[in-house]
């Protein structure tokens, strides 16, 4: 089932030297921790001068779309597809 969320999250990331983007390892949404088990795609979206990084990740049995607003440093869970 696909659920549109668009809510802020807390993200745990790793910044690696020479990497084009931060590596998303886990995030917290509604008092639940989602550990990222695979990253499928990271791409940039631009709107004017604003650049966002959009991540498509797997967290166990769930697939999530997460956005990083690089100007403000804000993380957002955009969508969640759960097998439950």
Q: What's this model's pTM, rounded to 2 decimal places? A: 0.90
Residue identified by tokens 């668009």 is: 6
Domain count for the chain, please give it: 1
Per the structure, the complete domain to which residue 58 belongs is given by 2-81
Sequential pLDDT tens for the chain (84 residues): 788 999 999 999 999 999 889 999 999 999 999 999 999 999 999 988 889 999 999 999 999 999 999 999 999 999 999 876
Which DSSP string do the residues of 14-56 spell out, in sequence order? Answer: E--TT-SSPEEEEEEETTEEEE--EEEEEEEEEETTEEEEEEE
Helix (H) or strand (E) holding 62: strand 62-69
In what side-by-side order are the strands of the sheet with 62-69?
Answer: 32-35, 23-29, 2-14, 74-81, 62-69, 50-59, 38-47
């Amino acid at each position: 089932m696909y659920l549109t969320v668009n809510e802020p999250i807390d993200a745990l990331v790793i910044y690696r030297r020479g990497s084009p983007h931060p590596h998303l390892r886990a995030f917290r949404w509604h008092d639940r921790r989602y550990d990222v088990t695979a990253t499928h795609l990271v791409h940039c979206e631009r709107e004017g001068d604003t650049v966002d990084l959009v991540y498509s990740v797997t967290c166990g049995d769930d697939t999530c779309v997460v956005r990083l607003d690089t100007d403000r440093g804000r993380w957002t869970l955009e969508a969640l597809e759960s097998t439950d």
